[in-house]
Amino acid sequence: MRSSFVRVTALTAAAAILAAACGGTGSAPSPAPATGQPTPAATKPQFELASYQYSIQTKGKLRVGTREDNVPFGLKNPATSKFEGFDVDIVREFAIAIFGNEAKADPDKFIEYVPVVSATRIPTLKDNKADVIAATFTINDERLKEIDFSTVYFRTGQKVMVKKDNATIKSVADLKDKTVCTAKGSTSEKNIAAKNKDAKLLLLDSYAPCLIALQQGQADAISTDETILFGLVKQDPNTKIVGDYFSDEPYGIGVNKGRTVFVPFLNKVIADMIASGRWAEIYKKHITPVSGDLKDGPHDKGRSN
Ligand code: GLU
């Protein structure tokens, strides 16, 4: 308790410093209308003309690359056709920061969702089909050669998942000659190959099809970030997560290189979300139902089983 208090205070201070440093690129909050008074005309945040957030505001939509089948981060709900999940609620905060009060009631009016899978995240940015990628996107040196990232807004690590009755696979070390399903173009693919060169990889576009492969016996295990595995276990309680973390997966928002004013702007929105408790609310809404824990920021990977 004590350490999280100190952390929150430090984050609040950091957010205040960032807010001062970013002066002129954000907006002052509009005063709440007094009861019975007419609502003032919607005010838009003011940005430097050369900033990327200004060009997004002018175009009227934030184009977001996110996942359609990656519970609890990005899902296109088949019943409503609306996107939902942790990543989706994070980008809605960016939309509110760019478009102001008008976006608060329904941020999706100001967002164009561009479905991505692991392997299409960098090409979607580079082909200028999205302004940001919010899709369980691990920040690493290899990717930083091609694109930029925001600060870390979520942190997890890789684990292994098997059927509940599997008594032989207890960790990544037991995957010799076993078929392990993961997504092509992911860090999960690289981490498995590095940790157990004798594992046989079944590479699919995303993790939901890996669950079907596990259920149908085409794969002995699935391996990716633990929080994504939590989402799969929730969908199929006849599965379990085994072993310890064998990687660190700090998620950032992917952005094309050269957006030197935009990235600090996104970082400030992330710092503000953490300091205000909004991040903790989004965590509680999307991650807690699958992880069972509560968090107030992306400090560590999570719980270890
Ligand atoms: N976070 C990892 C990555 O960025 C694995 C999860 C994913 O494929 O999205 O590659």
Report CA-CA distances (Å) from 174 to 17, 179, 195, 197, 293.
Answer: 48, 11, 11, 11, 28
Give residue 188 CA to ligand 1 midpoint distance, Å: 6
Q: How many CB atoms lie within 10 A of CB 137?
A: 32
Residue 272, both tokens = 């503000």
Count H helices and E strands in the chain, helices first.
11, 15
Whether 52-154+250-304 and 158-247 share one fold: the answer is yes
Residue 298, both tokens = 């992306």
For residues 217 and 233, what is the distance between their CA atoms, to the nearest angstrom?
16
Ligand 1 pocket test: which of 67, 228, 232, 246 has the largest number of ligand atoms within 8 Å of its C-beta? 228
Is the pLDDT at 117 greater than 60? The verdict is yes
Q: Cα 229 to the chain's mean position, in Å?
A: 14
Q: Is 75 helix (H, G, I), strand (E, B) or coil?
A: strand
- pLDDT digits over 200-238, tens only? 999 999 999 999 999 999 999 999 999 999 999 999 999
- pLDDT cut 70: percent of the chain above it: 85
- The CATH superfamily label for domain 52-154+250-304 reads Periplasmic binding protein-like II (3.40.190.10)
The predicted pLDDT at position 301 comes to: 73
The predicted pLDDT at position 299 comes to: 82
Q: Which residue ranges make up each domain of the chain?
A: 52-154+250-304, 158-247
**DSSP string over 155-212:** EE-EEEEEETT--S--SGGGGTT-EEEEETTSHHHHHHHHH-TTSEEEEESSHHHHHH
The predicted pLDDT at position 64 comes to: 98
Is the pLDDT at 103 greater than 60? The verdict is yes
Give residue 200 CA to ligand 1 midpoint distance, Å: 19
Across the range 249-258, mean pLDDT stands at 98
Pocket of ligand 1 (CB under 6 A): 118, 135-138, 183, 186-188, 224-225, 249
One-letter amino acid for residue 104 of the chain: K
Residue 68 is classified by DSSP as: S
- pLDDT digits over 128-146, tens only? 999 999 999 999 999 999 9
251 compared with 27, residue with greater pLDDT = 251
Q: Is 4 helix (H, G, I), strand (E, B) or coil?
A: helix
Ligand 1 pocket test: which of 71, 156, 225, 245 has the largest number of ligand atoms within 8 Å of its C-beta? 225
For residues 161 and 211, what is the distance between their CA atoms, to the nearest angstrom?
10
Domain 158-247 has CATH 3.40.50.800: no
Give residue 194 CA to ligand 1 midpoint distance, Å: 16
Across the range 268-286, mean pLDDT stands at 98
Is the pLDDT at 10 greater than 50? The verdict is no
Strand-pair partners of 112? 63
Across the range 237-254, mean pLDDT stands at 97
Ligand 1 atom at minimal distance to the Cα of residue 206: 8
Give residue 187 CA to ligand 1 midpoint distance, Å: 5
